[in-house]
Amino acid sequence: MDKILVVYKYDQVKQSITNELEKEGYDVRSIGADSFDLTALDASDFNLAVITLYTDVPSTWEMFLAFKEHFCDLPVVAYIGKHGVEHLKSAIKKVLSK
């Protein structure tokens, strides 16, 4: 079973993404972007990370860049909610199939 880390800003989005990915059979762990500690995370536990981004919230972009710098080998899918969870699931499948 593929393990996915979801880094989120808002609880409502976390719940929506987590529920949909669990329905697809993924093992999902969610962590809040505001309480996120890069040094405490073992990324080797995961096959992929999903990071929620908001065009009007600079801290989400800063967190994304810091995550990519710290975990450069872990594939990341950026999720911008306006594209919907179905697009996210499709992108995840493409990334994990490589």
Which residues fall within 8 angstroms of residue 38, CB to CB, at 6 or more apart? Answer: 66, 67, 70, 71
- pLDDT greater than 90 at residue 26: yes
In this prediction, residue 24 carries a pLDDT of 95
- pLDDT greater than 90 at residue 33: no
How many H helices and E strands in the chain?
Answer: 3, 4
- pLDDT greater than 90 at residue 94: yes
The domain spanning residue 36 has which CATH number? 3.40.50.2300
Domain residues for 51?
Answer: 3-96
Task: Indicate yes or no: pTM above 0.85.
Answer: yes
Average pLDDT over residues 53-60: 84
**Count of domains forming the chain:** 1
Sheet with strand 27-32: strands edge to edge: 27-32, 3-8, 48-52, 76-79
Task: Give the angle subtended at the CA of 38 by the CAs of 37 and 41, to the nearest 5°.
Answer: 90
In this prediction, residue 27 carries a pLDDT of 96
